[in-house]
Structure 1
Amino acid sequence: MNHSKPSILIADDDENVLSALTLALKCENYQINKATTPHQVITLLSRKQFSCLLLDLNYTQDTTSGSEGMQLIEAIRNIDSHVPIIAMTGYSSVDIAVEMMKLGANDFIEKPWRNAQLSNKIKQQIERVNIVRRNEKLSQTNALLTNKQQGVIAHSAEMRQVLTQIERIAVSDMNVLFTGENGTGKSMLAHYLHQHSTRNNNSFIAVNMGAITESLFESEMFGHVKGAFTDAKEDRIGRFELASQGTLFLDEIANINLNQQAKLLHILEERKFERVGSHITLEADVRVISATNANLEQLVIEKLFRQDLLYRLNTVEIRIPSLKERVDDIIPLATYFIEQFCQKYRMP
């Protein structure tokens, strides 16, 4: 899991103010970045995701109107709609404060500030935006998880052996490839593996790779920022980000082309990615489970599937037996499905 310090960007044209704030906030265990101009703020913001911005309203053009700071807040909100902004001014008034809030500032503080008050405001804003981001992620996750979890039926020795293998592997963080015929339960067993893993308190995100067109592949998998392309009306979180610290299940993995395979390989090797239209690099902290009914080794020979990608995906390969190989499960499965449909249709 990521336990990095929250990062604060301080912007002020007065070096004494920057030094005093840096000293005060480093004691609070924050990572500090500094900027002396609005241009530097925008440059830094395009390269890194910050936990909070502490912005002076006045720079070089004038000393009291706050117009530069207000233009800066507007520009920041076009880049990042969530990052907390606390504005600083030595000449604050109700009118300026109201205007700042309209443009997207979350709070303001007057100079000279009290360290305890400033610290509280920063903590409140970081906590608030973390809740907003968690809720956004949760709502998108819930939209993807439309199928209810099904029970795992394993009366046969063959399936009990598979479950034992899954449970043993689940506690590690190795990538797993499920193979087997259509309908053998690969998706269900991927979820079963996630439930038995150390990541089970975080998201399980399933993606049908065969249903994603090449033109939407990067946007679906890595996300995009508002304005990245014609139809990008708002920021979108991709599947890798949704699955952060959890499990990403890539179903029908054989159905992506060589171009898509290259992009997927890159993220699996580097463990980093960027949303489409953004230069901010994000960590890919996910466990990848994939599944296919195809013979990937044969596809590698035919040069339709990358050998290096297969190597990344199948740290462990688990073959799921077909129903004809697990005859002892036929009656229990039939009974289970009858019970499910009786409940669904309210019939005996």
Structure 2
Amino acid sequence: MLRRGGTIGILGGGQLGRMMAMSAVQLGYRCIGYAPEGDNVAAGVCEDFFTNRWDDTAALAAFAAKCDVVTWEFENVPVTTAQAIPADRIFPHPRALETAQDRLNEKRFAEGLGGKPAAYAKVDAASDLVGAVDRLGAPGILKTRRDGYDGKGQWRIGSGRDADALRLPDDPLIYEGFVEFDAEFSVILVRGQDGEIRFWDSPRNMHEDGILAASLLPAGKAVEGQVQEARRLAGEVADALKYVGVLTCEFFATHEGPIFNEMAPRVHNSGHWTIEGAATSQFENHIRAVAGLPLGDTATTAAGVEMRNILGEEIEGAHAFLADADTHLHDYGKREVRDGRKMGHFTRLTRA
């Protein structure tokens, strides 16, 4: 168990690290961040912050020497960076990054545990894409196997003609067949160092242009009838990885049951509602887990919860949301405002 006043290192400087650090400070810990140069909004909450390249071995060693434990706030931290931290001081283990950073490996991993992903095919050349469309049909989605998020690195393929005309990027790719679904939802869990797992209620997620727009509770019958099966898979993923911290698995609710979409080995946008809407937030429970503390209650504490992202210039008028006494605003403090960028979120509670 990490002593009071101990230091938690966070790899990454975005809003997830910022909210994680806020929870750590509340529990009596110090935080130090590490990320390359950029709009590192977590730095305002951390006691110290290293602004260095991911491959700067000397800086990483100096950072690690100052930390009692280390975690990360987004899944694109290079595996080699995470592996530079002593294995007994980084949570989750870097094997979670290795699994999640490649969409092909991720889907095969889920299948090995009994999960059912969308039909998929590996694409390394234009001929592979044409063959994948022939086998799996269209429409479908072509994705980079690595690094894509919030709709980036994705191309909708409406027909074989689209596949023929597309100039492929020079990256490993995967083609996914179209899934007819009733709803999208996420399973968010926390696993402690002793193997205990607790789940939050699963929200229904609404996306616009590939970006999460809202997470809603109650999630509705289409989701609620499939949560238990999805939780089984998510729990097996966490156990197989010997995971410590918050883990998110995203699913489609379909007439065939839950279809696995992807996993995020970190706190997640669709779990932001837990700050005001649950007994213990995802951020606090992540810190509890990596520090070796008992896990907190994950029960939902409101009759209804609505979390919405604030994108781009919407942040300029965000204080207007506070006219509703049951609405809570989170401004991430980002300097650069651009279309589609997550600048903050608000959570609106419905009282019982």
* TM class, shorter-length: under 0.3
Determine which structure has the larger helix proportion and give its number. 1
Structure with higher Rg: it is: 1
State the TM-score, normalized to the length of structure 1. 0.25
